[in-house]
Structure 1
Amino acid sequence: MKKTIVLLVAVLLTVGCKTSQNQSDSTELKELVSIMQGHYSSEKQALADKDYYNISLRMTPIWKSKGNYLFVEQAIFDKQDKPYRVRIYKVSQRGNEFISEIYTLKDEKAWIGKWATPEVYDQLTEADIELKSGCEVVLKRTGKNRFEGATGDKTCPSELRGASWANSKVTVTENTIHSWDQGFDKDGKQVWGATKGGYEFIKI
């Protein structure tokens, strides 16, 4: 009888610890998704350094019933109707790491500019998107409202401008996103992306 009680207490303690950890993880995941979403601009950086463009970055939450998804548009600020990058990010948690998976859209032009009425994205299905395998960004929480991470080493294939692979380094805070995207050829020579450092996006 005593052994049974001891085992029962041990099980309850284990379950309690797991529940507490899951609740903590859930809170941190919500924190990350909350601070990621919004409209950003690199205008301040562009005004200070002519080597950087004024870029618009929009991240709009979609598919809330399915998980944490963000519809992402990146464009020259004066040409937001013609974004050069359209993606969907799926943000999830794995232990103490946060994974931002990247998806492309098979017909991205049909969905550009719908951020003003995000319910339209409910018409999108998983058959309309495709995972960029190996291009996920793995982040860690380094402080309140601060997450830092990067893609894996040479795991994200790229054919843009003669590249063989791409790399991204990202820092997310409450009101900023610092993102450094670079493309490298098979010999490790950089062929696209900023050379001096990443783009500094400030939430509008």
Structure 2
Amino acid sequence: MTRYLLIIFAVSLMFSCKDDKQNTQEETKPDHLPELFSLMQGSYNSEVQSQVDSTYYNISLHMYPIWEDKGNFLYVEQALNSTQDKPYRQRIYEVTQLNDSVYSSAIYTIENDSLWIGKWKTPKSFDTLAMDKVTKKEGCEVLLQRLEANLYKGETGEKTCESTLYGASYATSEVEIMEDKIISWDRGFDDKGEHIWGAEKGGYIFIKLDD
């Protein structure tokens, strides 16, 4: 009987140690999602770049957190800096962690997006926007690698993001996120891989503005 009890105790101790090890590994798993999510937030423009190179426009970019109870979501609005009341792009980004160093920024379109122009100023307004009013752009998520503190770089998959803009077949995005700026290079290509739209030389350099 004593021997039987010792065996049970030994087995219980073995599984207990295994569980403790797993819990410790989970507790020490790097979690830099808050860092990335914080870096992305704010207002930006490409004024400096446009002054140096006239082939680039001065674009405004606003990214602010919404739906705080649902996860890490950002409302994103882009426009010519001179006509910010007429944005050419309105999206919602969902930022998630895939593993220790890779993160995903999924993209959603918004139904009746004109109703939300300028609402980055009042993010709580999006509490009335239901999830069934947004649609995920499958294959258009940007996978970001954490290279070091406050530095993330990534891109979309190869030919995974469908786009028909200006006769394109697919679109690509290359993104670099830093503490004081975001470099974003969005381009569209036809089914033969010919460049259709987007900057030709390199990405737009968006400098973060002071609050």
The equivalent residue for 2:150 is: 145
Distance in 1 between the 2:41 and 2:76 partners?
Answer: 9
Q: Does 1:10 align with 2:10?
A: no
Aligned residues between the structures: 200
- Matched position secondary structure for 2:70: coil
**Pairwise CA distance, 1:41:** 0.5
The question of 1:181 aligning with 2:181 is answered no
Residue 15 (structure 1) shift: 1.5
Aligned counterpart, 2:102: 97
Q: Give 1:201's aligned residue.
A: 206
Q: Deviations over 1:53-103 (max 9, x none)?
A: 000000011001100000000000011010000000000011131000000
Larger radius of gyration: 2
Distance in 2 separating the partners of 1:116 and 1:185: 37
* Structure 2 residues without counterparts, runs of 5 or longer: 1-8
- What amino acid is aligned across from residue 97 of structure 2 in structure 1? Q
Give 1:19 deviation, angstroms. Answer: 2.2
Where does structure 1 lack aligned partners over 5 or more consecutive residues? Answer: none
Residue 166 in 1 paired to residue 166 in 2?
A: no
Secondary structure, in 3 states, of the residue corresponding to 2:60?
A: strand
Deviation at 1:163, TM superposition (A): 0.2
Aligned: 1:135 with 2:140: yes
Superposition RMSD in Å: 0.8
In 2, distance between residues paired with 1:89 and 1:2? 50
Structure 1 position 8, deviation (Å): 1.1
Aligned to 2:123: 118
Partner of 2:84: 80
Partner of 1:68: 72
More displaced stretch, 7-16 vs 47-56: 7-16
Which of the numbers 19, 25, 29 marks the counterpart of 2:27?
19
Opposite residue 149 of structure 1, the aligned amino acid is G
| Percent sequence identity over aligned pairs | 48
> Normalized against structure 1, the TM-score is what?
0.96
* Cross-structure match for 1:30: 34
For residues 98 and 129 of structure 1, the distance between their equivalents in structure 2, rounded to whole angstroms, comes to 21
Amino acid at match of 1:203: K
SS across alignment from 2:154: strand
TM-score by length of 2: 0.93
The runs of at least 4 aligned residues of structure 1 exceeding 6 Å deviation read none
Separation of aligned partners in 1, 2:39 and 2:198: 25
1:20, distance to aligned residue in structure 2 (A): 1.9
* Separation (CA, whole Å) in 1 of partners of 2:172 and 2:10: 57
